[in-house]
Amino acid sequence: MTYRGRFAPSPTGRLHFGSLVAAVASYTDALHHQGEWLLRFDDVDETRTLPGAVDGILTTLDAFGFEWSAEPASQSDRVDLYQAILDRLLTEDLAFYCGCSRKEIEAVGRPGTDGPLYPGTCRNGLPRGKRPRSIRLRVENKTVRFVDRFAGPVQQNVAQQIGDFVIRRADGFAAYQLAVVVDDSIENITHVVRGADLLESTPRQLYLQQQLGFTYPVYGHIPLVRDACGKKLSKDDAARALTLNNPLPSLLAAWQFLGQVSLASDITHVSEFWSEATRLWSPARVPIATGEV
């Protein structure tokens, strides 16, 4: 089996335990399947990139014993490619310019899974007096279904639950949904293992892949690491940044969080952790991520 996985952090801060869990899951799954594992920096919105964050993430991953199969890619290097795909979708009338502000949509859009549904104002051309702001994908009324490796069957009617969604933002940046689909396609990613916060947007990505004629990766969403209040850990929470001088306890904690069998107690080095983890990794033991779609 060909296996190409990836880890795609945003360089907006330091890695924390939640990002480590996602990295451990995707890396171990790749190693277990004798696959490749790529790194990509999700920095499509360059204004959010924190100076030094890319180097910090690379240093952290290196200290934790991760090895990537190729030079890391960056979304900020692919602006022209995203634009070419946007142009293609517009030419094929699969997407349209929208001149609505967030306020206008909030005023009339009925509630959806991810904010108010787009009311369709500019679907058939920009109304008089409106200038183009964003680009939206034209979404038809059909249900997207897939089976997530860890979360089980997922279905979503993107039109009814999300609406025509933004693929180029009003600030000119490609939207995450478009960038990630293009990235996974040109990198020939076969398996996506990531946090369950992205489970809800996966049907949008499948929809886009279908419109663009791309192949679908296999998806697996792992449960999110939450703080004591039930909130997803964020990069802003500096206190939870990983310490580099003693990576083993964090690796073992990530392994345990992923529901895996206990490793030999005499592991003293990260290389022993990775060889044991590769051998013993059991996707069936990953806890089910629920409540995200």
Interacting residue ranges for Zn ion, rule: CB under 5 A: 98, 100, 121-122
Kindly tell me which of 132 and 287 has the beta carbon lying closer to Zn ion: 132
Kindly tell me which of 8 and 98 has the beta carbon lying closer to Zn ion: 98
Least distance from Zn ion to the Cβ atom of residue 111, Å? 18
Least distance from Zn ion to the Cβ atom of residue 211, Å? 19
Kindly tell me which of 30 and 122 has the beta carbon lying closer to Zn ion: 122
Kindly tell me which of 25 and 122 has the beta carbon lying closer to Zn ion: 122
Least distance from Zn ion to the Cβ atom of residue 102, Å? 11
Least distance from Zn ion to the Cβ atom of residue 98, Å? 3
In which residue are the tokens 């949904």 written?
Answer: 177
Q: What are phi and psi of 100, to 5 degrees?
A: -85, 145
Kindly tell me which of 53 and 98 has the beta carbon lying closer to Zn ion: 98
Least distance from Zn ion to the Cβ atom of residue 119, Å? 8
